[in-house]
Amino acid sequence: MSRQKTARQAPPAQDGTDERRAQWQAELPDVDTRGMAILGRARWITLTARPPIEAVFKRHGLDSGEADVLFSLLRSGPPYRLRPTELFRALMISSGGLTDRLNRLEKAGLIRRVAAEGDGRSLPVELTEQGIRCAGDAFREDMAIEAAMLAGLTEDEQSQLASLLRKLALTIGATQPFA
């Protein structure tokens, strides 16, 4: 009779969140810190991922808010035009915040405001040819950086994580009036 050797799995790597949870467990053992294990890590990931992504936008002469406007217009499809109301609702910002972004993008030649058919009061926003190129180039570069950041996960793990995060986002969105 032979015995099969079972491979010993290495314990999972520890990160700063694990250390903080252990400290809280020692200090306040009655407090459930599972939220920190997920949301704390999500916050750290976001804060760590933002600088290289924002550097992409800067190389294209944009800040992240301006990139959001261009990306919203580009993904809307030809003629790459939306009403300002559609834009500020999609971006979840104030109309005043959108106006500032639009003014900067128009000055840079990336968007133009065109008269709407049958409505002289509304000036839809559309990408210029230069804006289409800029948005496409910046988005491609952004997605390449994000893909590199996810390279430590298999495709199945990425899919599973995306699914779980979607479920969490929907749960949080359903319970928060501001989400």
Residue-wise pLDDT tens digits, 43-72? 999 999 999 999 999 999 999 999 999 999
Task: Decide if pLDDT at 112 tops 90.
Answer: yes
Q: Give the pLDDT confidence score for residue 179 in this predicted structure.
A: 46
Element spanning 21, H or E: helix 16-27
Instruction: Write the burial class of residue 80 (CB in 10 Å: 0-12 exposed, 13-18 middle, 19+ buried).
Output: buried
* The pLDDT of residue 3: 52
Q: What is the pLDDT of residue 174?
A: 87
pLDDT in tens, 130-157: 999 999 999 999 999 999 999 999 999 9
Residue 23 has pLDDT above 50, yes or no: yes
Closest by CA position to 50, among listed 40, 39, 64: 64
User: Taking 70 as the threshold, does the pLDDT of residue 118 lie above it?
Assistant: no
C-alpha distances out from residue 59 to 43, 163, 179, Å:
25, 32, 31
The whole-number average pLDDT for the span 14-28 is 93
- Structural element, H or E, at residue 125: strand 125-127
Q: How far apart are CA 80 and CA 32, in angstroms?
A: 47
Q: Is the pTM of this model over 0.85?
A: no
Is residue 28 very low, low, confident or very high in pLDDT (cuts 50, 70, 90)?
A: very high
DSSP string covering 36-91, please?
Answer: IIIIIHHHHHHHHHHHHHHHHHHHTT--HHHHHHHHHHHHT-TT-EE-HHHHHHHH
pLDDT at 5: 54
Whether 13 shows a pLDDT value over 90: the answer reads no
| Token couple for 62 | 């944009």
For the domain 55-148, what is the CATH code? Answer: 1.10.10.10
What average pLDDT does the structure give for the chain? 90
Which of 74-83, 95-104, 129-138 is least confident?
95-104
Do 88 and 94 contact (CB within 8 A), yes or no? yes
What pLDDT, on a 0 to 100 scale, did the predictor assign at position 9? 74
Q: Are 56 and 138 in contact (CB under 8 A)?
A: yes
pLDDT at 60: 97
Rounded-to-integer distance, Cα 4 and Cα 47, Å: 46
Backbone angles phi, psi at 176, to 5 degrees: -120, 120
Interatomic CA distance for residues 13 and 44, integer angstroms? 16
